[in-house]
């Protein structure tokens, strides 16, 4: 009798456990099905200038939705209840802190994540990265992710917008400007991390391949006066709107055709756009442009070998899908091992990796 009772209890426990895990699974699928509401709400609050309204010169005082609305719509109008619904969702993703008073009033301040949306003293923030990633041309392209499987020779962005991404930006100064601001906003904090761990001693001429506005070179040259000559190498349309920087020459060209010579070459966040074959072409061009014993310092998103559920892995893998859909179906985020193989196949003798940041690693290729 006792044994039978135990068996029944055990069976009940197992049934309960599986019921629990099924309901959790259903909840997880619902969260994913509703996921689009998160970036769209975030984009909306950036366009509405909600983070700036709360921040107001660093006060970050918790405000109600009605109070925020009064700041962003000083002449009246708008719906505070709907704004609060958006703020509640984003508080659940740790963009805002929610302060709930005993009277039931909800007030919001920015968390550390929310603060990344506030412009710094150079007018840069991750708000531009969010806006750039959710422009109409990109949003129109997202439904074509599956086509990269059906036919990888068709580039979804080209199919939807009629031209490749960089060509598209180059013809639209506003979009190109947003792109450059988004890239710089992401790069400045990362460059600070790189300069904390990597030394550019002994280099006089440094080439930055895909250097965009030349901002990385400026930061390197500020810290290392031995780098007397910087060559910022990027597409002609991009360097055409790059600012003048003392000691930096902007050179327009395509790294798949050639790379200007220097004592060392820096290339940050540019290999992602290329297929493996194109990476080899660029690496060969870098190899040719370097002296004996020269170094190529690559900084790229590096995906881990093992897939897990961590924030880092998810961010890197979702970034990979972004590249696949928006740039090239065979452009990609690579593993350290894949970079090593590419380097060795093009003549480099050694690769050492420094994980400067959870998103990007520094890969030093030795000629």
The footprint of ligand SAM (CB under 6 A) covers 166, 183, 187, 210-212, 216, 234-235, 238, 254-256, 268-270, 273
CB of 210 to ligand SAM, least distance (A): 3
CB of 20 to ligand SAM, least distance (A): 44
CB of 227 to ligand SAM, least distance (A): 16
In the complex with ligand SAM, the residue whose CB is nearer, 98 or 119, is 119
Q: What angle do CA 51, 184, 304 make, to 5 degrees?
A: 95
In the complex with ligand SAM, the residue whose CB is nearer, 39 or 252, is 252
In the complex with ligand SAM, the residue whose CB is nearer, 93 or 359, is 359
Distance of CA 312 to the CA centre of its chain: 12
Nearest to 273 by CA among 190, 344, 209: 209
Q: Which residues pair with 280 in a beta bridge?
A: none
Give CA separation, 16 vs 6, 175, 345, in Å: 15, 54, 55
CB of 154 to ligand SAM, least distance (A): 20
User: Among all residues, whose Cβ is closest to ligand SAM?
Assistant: 210
Nearest to 212 by CA among 271, 126, 270: 270
Six token digits for residue 87: 């703020």
Cα(287)–Cα(281) distance, integer angstroms? 10
Six token digits for residue 236: 């002609």
Nearest to 176 by CA among 256, 269, 240: 240
In the complex with ligand SAM, the residue whose CB is nearer, 96 or 269, is 269
In the complex with ligand SAM, the residue whose CB is nearer, 62 or 262, is 262
CB of 164 to ligand SAM, least distance (A): 10
């Amino acid at each position: 009798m006792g044994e039978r009772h135990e068996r029944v209890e055990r069976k009940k426990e197992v049934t309960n456990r599986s019921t629990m895990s099924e309901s959790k699974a259903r909840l997880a699928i619902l969260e994913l099905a509703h996921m689009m509401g998160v970036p769209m709400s975030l984009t909306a609050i950036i366009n509405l200038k909600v983070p700036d309204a709360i921040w107001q010169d660093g006060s970050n005082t918790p405000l109600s939705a009605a109070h925020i609305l009064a700041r962003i719509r000083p002449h009246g109008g708008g719906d505070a209840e709907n704004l609060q619904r958006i703020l509640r969702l984003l508080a659940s993703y740790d963009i805002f802190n929610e302060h709930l008073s005993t009277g039931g009033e909800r007030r919001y301040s920015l968390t550390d994540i929310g603060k990344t949306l506030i412009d710094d003293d150079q007018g840069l923030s991750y708000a531009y990265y969010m806006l750039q990633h959710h422009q109409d041309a990109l949003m129109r392209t997202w439904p074509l992710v599956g086509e990269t499987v059906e036919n990888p020779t068709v580039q979804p962005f080209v199919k939807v917008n009629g031209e490749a991404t960089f060509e598209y930006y180059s013809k639209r100064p506003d979009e190109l400007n947003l792109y450059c601001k988004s890239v710089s906003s992401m790069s400045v904090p990362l460059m600070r991390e790189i300069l904390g761990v990597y030394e550019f001693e002994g280099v006089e001429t440094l080439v930055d391949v895909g250097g965009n506005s030349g901002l990385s070179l400026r930061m390197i040259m500020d810290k290392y006066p031995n780098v007397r000559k910087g060559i910022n190498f990027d597409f002609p349309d991009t360097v055409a709107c790059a600012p003048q920087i003392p000691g930096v020459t902007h050179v327009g060209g395509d790294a798949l055709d050639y790379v200007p010579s220097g004592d060392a070459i820096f290339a940050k966040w540019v290999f992602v756009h290329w297929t493996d074959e194109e990476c080899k072409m660029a690496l060969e061009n870098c190899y040719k442009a370097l002296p004996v014993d020269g170094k190529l310092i690559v900084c790229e998103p590096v995906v881990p070998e093992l897939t897990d559920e961590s924030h880092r892995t998810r961010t890197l893998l979702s970034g990979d899908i972004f590249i696949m859909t928006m740039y090239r179906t065979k452009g990609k985020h690579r593993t350290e091992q894949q970079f090593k193989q590419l380097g060795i196949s093009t003549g480099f003798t050694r690769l050492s990796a420094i994980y400067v940041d959870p998103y990007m690693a520094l890969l030093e290729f030795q000629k």
